[in-house]
Amino acid sequence: MIVEEDLFSVKNLERLLRNPLVQSLGEITRWPDILEENQKILEKIALTKKLGKRVDGHTAGARYDQLAALSREGVESCHESI
């Protein structure tokens, strides 16, 4: 059985993000976790930014103030129309 936390661990994520074919971390559907300052996801965003990659969200349902807060935390885009 695949455990989500193992699959998306910081160590595994760093290995993937160092691949030049990988362009971004996305699509972050758990955007409320970012607003609640979940340290695990914030660490993953920080790592992604440190490696010069994009952070793409999936922020359907977010209000303007929430989108602004997500942007401040490093989320750069969302393919959903608001």
Q: Which helix H or strand E contains 26, and what residues bound it?
A: strand 24-28
Q: Given pLDDT bands bounded at 50, 70 and 90, which one contains residue 81?
A: low
Tokens of 64: 């303007």
* Tens of pLDDT, residues 23-41: 999 899 999 999 999 999 9
- Distance, in Å, from the CA atom of 74 to the CA atom of 49, rounded to the nearest integer, reads 8
8-state DSSP, 69: H
Tokens of 46: 């920080």
Give pLDDT, residue 79: 78
Q: Given pLDDT bands bounded at 50, 70 and 90, which one contains residue 19?
A: very high
CB atoms within 10 A of CB 75: 23
Give pLDDT, residue 82: 59
* Tens of pLDDT, residues 51-77: 999 999 999 999 999 999 999 999 999
Supply the pTM of this predicted model: 0.89
